Amino acid sequence: MATLAEKAAENLTILREKKPLIHNITNYVVMNYTANALLAMGASPVMAHAENEVQDMVSFAGALVLNIGTLTDDWIASMIKAGKKASEKGTPIILDPVGAGATPLRTDAAKKIIEQMRISVIRGNPSEILSLRHANSTTKGVDALHSVEEAAKTAGILAQELQTTLAITGPVDLITDGNRMVRVSNGHPLMARVTGTGCTATVTIGAFLAVDDDPFSATATALAFFGLAGEIAGEAASAPGSFMIQMLDALYTITPEKLKAGCKIQNE
């Protein structure tokens, strides 16, 4: 069986050969940066959010990315329409519940989206992910969670309840599908100083979902790749402006071999 480091190299190789179309319904803040990140790594981004177009667009896509960062009701409706179509066609969906837990609009929208489609992966920080628990979840009572490690205790149960892969990201990322769990420690502190780093991690997972049938390995390998890009950027830049440009460069220059050698994925 291939290790996850080998799988990472394989996924990146296939991604650059197939150049899958990734359909994004995402927030205004990060659209440009995530489109550039997808292009740099070898995927083909499209952003389209009109309710009367999303079903057509998602039909061409290798994956659908839903991100609620600058949400309004009409965008929720489009996300649900696109997500239902993607579910029908078996196209993988990744949800980034930006700000879930912070306002009722976001928490409710994230839950509504989860209920109405088959989501392969949800990526967020600990508070966002834990806000997605059902009212009767057995993971209740952990409202004060702040770190990935605290979230780890309940993430496995939540992944089983939501029947999805969860990626809880921070200095060390935790990935679980309820049965398996790994941690990815690639990354750099400056990633927290660039807007949309989390959203860009999400689209990277989206791209890997388009070439890897197993959402768990797609997520772990995508986050190792993305974190390695941060490490390489951090060698070339010491402040956030230069760093965010170097990140795009690294997503383009990292070879499958370099990724295999640089992966920091640990089994539990």
Helix axis angle, 4-18 to 215-236, nearest 10°: 80
Least distance from C-beta 214 to its own copies, angstroms? 28
Residue with Cβ nearer its own copies (19 or 260): 19
Q: How far apart are CA 129 and CA 110, in angstroms?
A: 10
Cβ-based neighbour number of residue 225 at 10 Å: 30
Least distance from C-beta 59 to its own copies, angstroms? 9
Residue with Cβ nearer its own copies (220 or 251): 251
Angstrom CA distances, 29 to 43, 71, 95, 177, 251, stand at 20, 11, 17, 29, 20
Least distance from C-beta 190 to its own copies, angstroms? 9
Least distance from C-beta 240 to its own copies, angstroms? 5
Q: Which of 233, 126, 226 is nearest to 185 (CA)?
A: 226
Planar angle of CA 94, 4, 196, nearest 5 degrees: 35
Q: Write the CB contacts of 64 (distance below 8 Å, at least 6 apart in sequence).
A: 22, 23, 24, 25, 58, 82, 83, 86, 91, 92, 93, 94, 206
Residue with Cβ nearer its own copies (112 or 193): 193
Least distance from C-beta 197 to its own copies, angstroms? 9
Residues that bind its own copies (CB under 8 A): 27-33, 35-36, 39-40, 45-53, 56-57, 60, 69-73, 99, 102-106, 193-196, 238-242, 244-250, 252-253
Q: How far apart are CA 73 and CA 79, in angstroms?
A: 10
Residue with Cβ nearer its own copies (11 or 197): 197
Residue with Cβ nearer its own copies (89 or 153): 89
Least distance from C-beta 94 to its own copies, angstroms? 19
Least distance from C-beta 42 to its own copies, angstroms? 9
Residue with Cβ nearer its own copies (138 or 195): 195
The dihedral built from the CA positions of residue 256, 257, 262 and 267, taken in this order, carries a sign that is positive
Residue with Cβ nearer its own copies (30 or 218): 30
Q: Write the CB contacts of 66 (distance below 8 Å, at least 6 apart in sequence).
A: 25, 26, 79, 82, 83, 93, 94, 95, 96, 113
